[in-house]
Amino acid sequence: MNKEKNERIREKRRKTKEKRKNQSVKVFKIKFDKSKISRQKMSNLKRLFLEGKWFTNYVISQGITNLVSHRDYKIKKVKVKVGDKFEERELNLLSSQMKEYIITRLKSNVNTLAKLRKEGKKVGKIKYIKALHSIFLQQYGNTYKLDKKAKLLHLQGIGDFKVIGLEQIPDNCDITTANLIERNGDYYLHVTVYLPKEEKVQNKRAIGIDLGVKNQITFSNGIKLKYSVEMPEKLRKLYKDLSRAKYNKETKQFSKRGEKILVKIRKEFMHQNNQKKDIINKITHYLSKNYEFVAYQNDSLQEWQKLFGRKIYQTSVGGFRDTLKRKVSTPLEVGRFTKTTGVCIYCGHSMHLNLSERLLICPSCGHVLDRDVSAANVILKEGLSLWNVGETLAEDYASTSSMLEYLNSIPHVKASMSNEARSPKQADGAQIEAPSVRVG
């Protein structure tokens, strides 16, 4: 019987592995609706994470040798240090699968530290944790279940919870594992699903991107984009209140009032980061759906951070570049040290421009160009040539109006068209189109 069962399991895994080859993985974020959770269930959620912390510290206390071979997933009681004493605590909500993953994660951490130590790097040891913020849910249909119609999440041994965001999970997907997350008093479920692979965009359209500080994104078609999510006034007031809260230097902890203020501060930062992520995702979504080739430069954003500090933080241009790499069909990365600023896109003449100089006036051919638009076109040309794309139309200029309309519909974003390009023969300074780039 055991042989037959094992054979069925192996066959099922083989079929699943074959199926995954034609699927792509996505993670959807679901939020618990705290307004519709009873006090008892909220208490159970808090208790679950507390038991997770107790069990994690218990496993660490067994020692590294025992940790690697430890397999007692069904343990029901652990000893917890309270002050100078140890007290016994019952694990009523933490399931065997949850315990199993906690042990697996700790084993992985031990192995990683061992590898680093062999490489000659100085590493410490695994420390006891003050709080656990994530619990892995290994098996859909057993550890947890989702009911899209009723907007419910069922957690094994705890009960049903009203959640927000189930409608974003498509019907034609395979729901697998999930992570239960606690963040600043709010609870989330990060659900991993497998979807049929989307066909890559193959429209032979390309666009170049120049990242900057004054204009965060400039496109090769002349569209310039500004966005910034500034620190709210409420956050400054919270920091002022925190400075007045009592702080224990020995325990390195704030008073209860101070801890409550810290939670509020973390929530404000999380809200600010979510706004930046929303902007980035919407811009990259448009680019991935409309352009097969997207060229950008591998700028040293860490150096930008040192020079411009808060401006870079408020825009998260590094996050935009990383998201771009993942989402577009064919990202074209131009080397960091390739000269792109101060290069005329008409004759190729190169010159030095100070940061204050926003126009490129070519002494060779006489064209007047916006420095950022010119740089975006140079990046596009370099990207196409370096990656040997072939005969490719750089930009469909008829689409700029729809692109402007879409970008201006994104909160905190202001998109405009550059009006600086002039040819030597245009005395009246009328706008001309930047040249399209073809690589043969």
- Say whether pLDDT at 66 is over 90: no
* pLDDT at position 436 over 70: no
Q: Indicate if the pLDDT at residue 121 is higher than 70.
A: yes
Q: Angle, nearest 10°, between helix axes 317-327 and 256-290?
A: 50
In a domain, 217, yes or no: yes
pLDDT tens-place string over residues 184-208: 889 999 999 999 887 777 888 899 9
Residue 279 has a pLDDT of 93
Cβ atoms within 10 Å of 15's Cβ, excluding its own: 10
Nearest-5° angle of CA 267, CA 268, CA 272? 115
**Total tally of structural domains belonging to the chain:** 2
d(CA 234, CA 215): 27
Range in 135-144, 300-309, 313-322 with the lowest mean pLDDT: 300-309
The answer on pLDDT for 97 being more than 50 is yes
Query: Does 398 have pLDDT greater than 70?
Result: no
**More confident of the two residues 202 and 226:** 226
Residue 290 reports pLDDT greater than 70: yes
Q: Look up the pTM and report it.
A: 0.77
pLDDT by residue (tens digit) across 232-271?
A: 888 889 998 998 888 887 777 888 899 899 989 998 888 8
- Rounded Cα distance between 324 and 284, Å, is 6
If asked whether residues 278 and 380 sit together in one domain, one would say: yes
Q: Which residues contact 56 (CB under 8 A, 6 or more apart)?
A: 102, 106, 129, 132
User: Domain check: are 110 and 218 in the same one?
Assistant: no
Regarding whether 175 and 283 lie in a shared domain, the answer is no
Q: Verify that 145 and 227 share a domain, yes or no.
A: no
Same domain, 210 and 181: no
211 with 329, same domain: the answer is: yes
What is the reported pLDDT for 300?
79
Residues 184 and 90 in one domain: yes
Q: What pLDDT does residue 284 have?
A: 94
pLDDT at 67: 62
User: Is there a single domain that holds both residue 134 and residue 210?
Assistant: no
Q: Report if residue 406 sits inside a domain.
A: yes
Q: What is the pLDDT of residue 355?
A: 76
Cα 417–chain centre separation: 29
Residue 69 banded pLDDT, cuts 50, 70, 90: low
pLDDT the model gives residue 70: 57
Domain that holds residue 369: 206-233+269-417
Rounded distance between C-alpha atoms, residue 106 and residue 109, angstroms: 5
Task: Give the model's pLDDT for residue 424.
Answer: 61
In a domain, 343, yes or no: yes
Asked if residue 101 and residue 223 are part of one domain, the reply reads: no
Residue 439 lies in a domain: no
Cβ neighbors of 438 (< 8 A, separation 6 or more) are 391, 392, 393, 394
- Does position 428 have pLDDT exceeding 50, yes or no? no
**Which of 75, 65, 80, 129 lies closest to 98, judged by CA?**
75
* Cα separations in angstroms, 412 against 190, 221, 401, 407: 27, 21, 19, 10
Q: Where are the alpha helices (DSSP H) in 36-163?
A: 39-61, 64-69, 96-118
**257 within a domain of the structure (yes/no):** no
Is the distance from CB of 55 to CB of 91 less than 8 angstroms? yes
Does a structural domain hold residue 221? yes
Q: Tell whether the model's pLDDT for residue 371 goes beyond 90.
A: no
Question: What proportion of the chain, given as a percentage, has pLDDT over 70?
Answer: 90
323 and 402 housed in the same domain: yes
Query: What percent of the chain is predicted at pLDDT more than 90?
Result: 32
Residue 249 domain-assigned? no
Q: Are 58 and 108 in contact (CB under 8 A)?
A: no
* Nearest-angstrom CA–CA distance, 40 and 242: 31
> Do 290 and 413 fall into the same domain?
yes
Contact (CB, 8 A) for 396 and 205: yes
Of 196, 225, 245, the residue at which a domain comes to its end is 196
Average pLDDT, the chain: 85
pLDDT score for 280: 93
411/2 Cα distance (integer angstroms): 59
Residue 256: inside a domain: no
What distance in Å separates the CA atoms of residue 99 and residue 74, rounded to the nearest whole number? 8
Q: CA-based angle 64:70:8, to the nearest 5?
A: 135
User: What's the confidence (pLDDT) of residue 437?
Assistant: 46
DSSP secondary structure letter of residue 383: H
Quick one: 162 and 124 in the same domain?
yes
Confidence of residue 394 (pLDDT cuts 50, 70, 90): very low
Q: Do residues 369 and 362 lie in contact, with contact meaning Cβ atoms separated by under 8 Å?
A: yes
Q: Of how many residues is the chain composed?
A: 440
